Chain A
């Protein structure tokens, strides 16, 4: 004997439950007996196989028979046993026969409601968590937006400042500036030269007759000696006129001690191969 799952729970009275149980068992046994009878009848019916040709027609005829039989069953059963039929609304129609006593209905109803409540609670919790997440997202985005706005503001301020600083370009002003610069530099150069000249005159004069005439055997030079200033001028001019060959031949007009002075102090340099040529040290390079 097979027992179906007993639906009614212990929420109802124990007595009621036992009654329902007994009723269920009884009904089950009855149904099983019916089934066995039907099975026996069925096993007596012959088998019938189909070929391609008669398949469709035979099947349709069979379907018609089955449906009419089902229909008549429904019509017969409906007035008496509607209380015994519990129909579940799924895609398929499953017919379960449970005696619909009050307690059964109550329990089933309670179950349904509990299920519903559980589902709704789940929905609610999901919605709440979604809400939370959305709030967090919103806050985050808001903060990001604020930061971006701050950045924008500071950039704008910077931009304005720079705009004000940039002066309009005017050619004439630049030209004038350059001219003044040039003039200043020229003035400075003149001043420097004058000062240099004065300094040289003061401290490095040309030898004149004040040289002691002890060395009479030294031939008096017939060439006019040039001042140190002039010597330096020659050297400087040579350096800038012919940069690749800044050497100047030492002539007799160069007073040798002054040449020595220049050489020893690193102001002039000898030509590496030719001792009669000197050049100015390139201080500007």
Chain B
């Protein structure tokens, strides 16, 4: 199906699935790796996607949390995110969506104003996190709030 729905399948046992949507593969990969390194009692599966809609041919478990990764250095990233948002079911936004803005540290390279992302997050009633994925130290710190979000979202 072309629209991502939160409750289209039964949940998998003791597992949570996070979907990372973003234009930059390398960043997504790094983020996924650092998140998987975190210790947690339940299992975690991370899916990466460049944009939505996801190809329907793949059999995937139920998605518990979508993270839209917006790179503040590229307008294309924001555009991609905005387009992908249209393929998400409305009920996802009741706590199962999170925005992640990267590259806010280097102000000179930011082509998207922070305010834009803030407004976006506000419109969709979802939390916004900031992260600088180039800096290795901040990656595990970033992974933590993600798991937090996942735990917060109603199962």
Interface residues of A (CB under 8 A from B): 2, 35-36, 39, 42-43, 47-52, 55-56, 58-60, 62-63, 66, 90-92, 94
Nearest residue in B to A57 (C-beta to C-beta)?
Answer: B123
Q: Beyond the given A43-B8, A55-B123, A92-B152, please list 13 additional residue pairs across the A-B interface where CB-CB is below 8 A.
A: A36-B10, A42-B7, A47-B89, A47-B90, A48-B89, A49-B3, A50-B93, A52-B123, A55-B124, A59-B90, A90-B151, A91-B152, A94-B155
Nearest residue in B to A41 (C-beta to C-beta)?
Answer: B7
The answer to whether A59 and B124 touch across the interface, beta carbons within 8 angstroms, is yes
Among A39, A42, A56, the residue within 8 A (CB) of B123 is A56
Report the separation of the CA atoms of residues A147 and B40 in the bound assembly, to the nearest whole angstrom. 54
Q: How many residues of B contact A (CB 8 A)?
A: 26
Interface residues of B (CB under 8 A from A): 1, 3, 5, 7-10, 13, 82, 85-91, 93-94, 122-125, 148, 151-152, 155
Nearest residue in B to A53 (C-beta to C-beta)?
Answer: B123
The answer to whether A63 and B123 touch across the interface, beta carbons within 8 angstroms, is no
The answer to whether B86 and A62 touch across the interface, beta carbons within 8 angstroms, is no
Nearest CB of chain A from residue B41's CB, rounded to whole Å: 10
Residues of A near B5 (CB, < 8 A) are 47
Nearest residue in B to A59 (C-beta to C-beta)?
Answer: B125
Nearest residue in A to B8 (C-beta to C-beta)?
Answer: A43
Given known contacts A55-B123, A59-B125, is B148 in contact with A91 (CB within 8 Å)? yes
The answer to whether A50 and B85 touch across the interface, beta carbons within 8 angstroms, is yes
Among A2, A39, A62, the residue within 8 A (CB) of B90 is A62
Residues of B near A55 (CB, < 8 A) are 93, 123-125
Given known contacts A36-B10, A50-B85, A59-B124, is B151 in contact with A91 (CB within 8 Å)? yes
Nearest CB of chain B from residue A91's CB, rounded to whole Å: 7
Nearest CB of chain B from residue A44's CB, rounded to whole Å: 11
The answer to whether B86 and A49 touch across the interface, beta carbons within 8 angstroms, is yes
Residues of B near A48 (CB, < 8 A) are 89-91
A-B contact pairs, 30 of them (CB 8 A): A2-B13, A35-B10, A39-B7, A39-B9, A39-B10, A43-B8, A47-B1, A47-B5, A47-B90, A48-B90, A48-B91, A49-B3, A49-B86, A49-B87, A50-B88, A50-B90, A50-B93, A52-B123, A55-B93, A55-B123, A55-B124, A56-B124, A56-B125, A59-B125, A60-B125, A62-B90, A91-B152, A92-B151, A92-B152, A94-B155
Residues of A near B124 (CB, < 8 A) are 50, 55-56, 59
Q: Which 7 A-B pairs have the closest CB atoms?
A: A48-B90, A59-B125, A47-B3, A47-B89, A55-B123, A42-B7, A92-B151
The answer to whether A59 and B93 touch across the interface, beta carbons within 8 angstroms, is yes
Report the separation of the CA atoms of residues A56 and B86 in the bound assembly, to the nearest whole angstrom. 14
Nearest CB of chain A from residue B24's CB, rounded to whole Å: 23
The answer to whether A56 and B90 touch across the interface, beta carbons within 8 angstroms, is no
Report the separation of the CA atoms of residues A94 and B91 in the bound assembly, to the nearest whole angstrom. 20
Residues of A near B3 (CB, < 8 A) are 47, 49
Nearest residue in B to A2 (C-beta to C-beta)?
Answer: B13
Residues of A near B148 (CB, < 8 A) are 91
Given known contacts A42-B7, A59-B94, A92-B151, is B123 in contact with A49 (CB within 8 Å)? no
Report the separation of the CA atoms of residues A47 and B93 in the bound assembly, to the nearest whole angstrom. 13
Residues of B near A52 (CB, < 8 A) are 82, 123
Report the separation of the CA atoms of residues A60 and B93 in the bound assembly, to the nearest whole angstrom. 10
Residues of A near B125 (CB, < 8 A) are 55-56, 59-60, 63
Nearest CB of chain A from residue B117's CB, rounded to whole Å: 13
Given known contacts A48-B90, A49-B88, A49-B90, is B7 in contact with A56 (CB within 8 Å)? no
Residues of A near B7 (CB, < 8 A) are 39, 42
Interface centre among A49, A51, A90 (most CB of B within 10 A): A49
Report the separation of the CA atoms of residues A36 and B10 in the bound assembly, to the nearest whole angstrom. 8
Residues of A near B13 (CB, < 8 A) are 2
The answer to whether B90 and A66 touch across the interface, beta carbons within 8 angstroms, is no
The answer to whether A49 and B122 touch across the interface, beta carbons within 8 angstroms, is no
